[in-house]
Amino acid sequence: MTSLRSLKLDLYDFPNAFGEDGILTKIASNFKIANVLSKDELAALPDCDFALIIKTGSERLRKYPVPDKQHAIVSSLFFQDTKKLLPPIAIKTAEENLHRALKSEEIVSNEVSVSELALSNQMAKIASVRDERAGLSNEDFALVIKEGASIRRLYPIHTEGLCKTANQYFTYNYKRMPLEARHSFAKALVKKVREGKFSVKLSHEVHKYYSPRYNRNLEFELNARKDVAKDADVRLALDKLAMAAKKTTPEKLANWLMKLDKIAGFDRYFGSRFSDSYQAVFAKGTTDKTAQMGGDYRQGGTGQPAGSGVSLVGKYQFDPTSLQTVPYEGPLMDLMSREDYLDVQKDPKAFAALPDPYKKAISDYVKGLEAKS
């Protein structure tokens, strides 16, 4: 926010207001107001004759004088033009008091501290982010997870920059996601990059969990499962999947195979005897040129991308960027200082650096808020 002392808010902040061609002359002629107090007379007014008082240390900035209805009209006119310069809490305070003054009612509370202004600004930003996310469609998120009656929408991908971030998150954390979540995430990201024609080079890890083509080694993957299958019905089901591959999509077949793998207990062989359900079905790469535009996603040769800190809490991945919509309140105040929380809000890496009990407590609180919304 601009320095409070530099803001021009009411009549007395404009040096030419009392001049021959100044603002006061125009107001007086338009609204038949003649007796506007001088600056010296203004200084003699008590605090209760102002719609807004901003406390800055030992000093007090008194704005929008309302000693009578005439001055209330003048202050209201200036307020309509200058309120855009104020934080929400200051706007609310001045607006309510100006309304009271115009009705010749007593002003009860007109003081706002600098710390309240800072918090008001933070809350306004949080509300802005929350409103922006609320206006997005499900297709603008990499993961949309139904948990009972609630829906969690994680990892917004409606801009090129957010697609790059989501790509980084997935690349280094996909092993901590359930298989179906890996596929959903990769599919949504590939689709969004393609549709948006974003300059994002999606990683090999993204493509191996979603591809429009079958894995050339699908027959081997299915036969490897038959070799360890003890149940004749499971082997028959694998034969049927092999036949289905000739007339269905890779996505449908992968979903069927995932269910069979769970039923048959094949997941204990993933990575040793054969690939997991989705890697077994989908091709290892892609020929999608649009989805591969742009530079390398790795940063500085370290193999770790900027902002790659992601934590898996419970069944599904927790999205640290969702903290941007959560104010510093409730149990969060018991966990850390406001300054530390602001750092966690701004940088997912700061969240990743927290001890696991802290991450779990924050995640549980955020998920509780999402369930109520």
- Smallest Cα–Cα separation from 218: which of 274, 286, 288? 274
CA atoms within a 13 Å half-sphere pointing along the CA-CB vector of 16: 5
Q: Which tokens is 76 given?
A: 């209201």
Question: Is the four-CA dihedral 263, 268, 273, 276 of positive or negative sign?
Answer: positive
Q: What is the pLDDT of residue 312?
A: 40
Using a CB cutoff of 8 Å and minimum separation of 24, what contacts does 87-94 make? 87/1, 87/117, 87/118, 87/120, 87/121, 87/124, 88/120, 88/121, 88/123, 88/124, 89/116, 89/117, 89/119, 89/120, 90/52, 90/54, 90/117, 90/120, 93/51, 93/52, 94/51, 94/52, 94/63, 94/64
Q: What is the pLDDT of residue 278?
A: 87
Q: Structural domain boundaries of the chain?
A: 4-129, 218-281, 309-373
Q: What is the pLDDT of residue 306?
A: 33
| Contact between 100 and 74 (Cβ < 8 Å) | no
Q: What is the pLDDT of residue 227?
A: 93
Q: Which tokens is 219 given?
A: 């027959």
Q: Which tokens is 251 given?
A: 């996505």
**How do strand 311-313 and strand 141-147 relate by DSSP bridges?**
unpaired
**What pTM does this model have?**
0.50
Low-confidence ranges of the chain (pLDDT < 70): 1-6, 15-35, 57-58, 118-130, 147, 284-318, 348, 370-373
pLDDT tens digits, 52-91: 998 876 678 899 999 988 889 889 988 988 888 788 888 8
- What is the largest distance, in Å, between two alpha-carbon atoms of the chain? 101
The residue assigned the tokens 């094949």 is 266
Q: What is the pLDDT of residue 307?
A: 34
pLDDT tens digits, 123-143: 566 566 667 777 888 899 988
- Smallest Cα–Cα separation from 245: which of 281, 270, 286? 281
